């Protein structure tokens, strides 16, 4: 099982690779700062059982 996922930062457009902890379940929600622009994003990670990989999607957070 792949333990990484990638998403496009909605604030700067960079492709971000992240590590996923499978112990947190098939659906995860977290807040992380972008590694490039340092702005906060809410990231939703889901496990696709058919493709056997994690899929991440980010939404900008205005703090």
The model's pLDDT over 14-50, given as tens digits with 9 standing for 90+, comes to 999 999 999 999 999 999 999 999 999 999 999 999 9
**In 1-63, at which residue ranges do the beta strands (DSSP E only) sit?**
4-8, 15-19, 27-33, 40-48, 53-60
**pLDDT tops 90 at residue 63:** no
**pLDDT tops 80 at residue 61:** yes
Domain limits of the chain?
A: 4-60
Confidence band, pLDDT 50/70/90 cuts, at residue 1: low
Give CA torsion, residues 53, 5, 8, 63, to 10 deg. Answer: 120
Instruction: Compute CA distances 27 → 14, 36, 47, 62, whole Å.
Output: 23, 25, 7, 23
Q: Is the dihedral of CA 37, 13, 17, 33 positive or negative?
A: positive
């Amino acid at each position: 099982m792949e333990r990484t996922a990638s998403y496009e930062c909605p604030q700067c457009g960079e492709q971000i690779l992240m590590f996923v902890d499978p112990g947190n379940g098939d659906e995860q929600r977290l807040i992380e700062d972008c590694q490039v622009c340092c702005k906060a994003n809410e990231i939703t990670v889901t496990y696709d059982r058919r493709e056997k990989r994690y899929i991440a999607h980010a939404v900008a957070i205005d703090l």
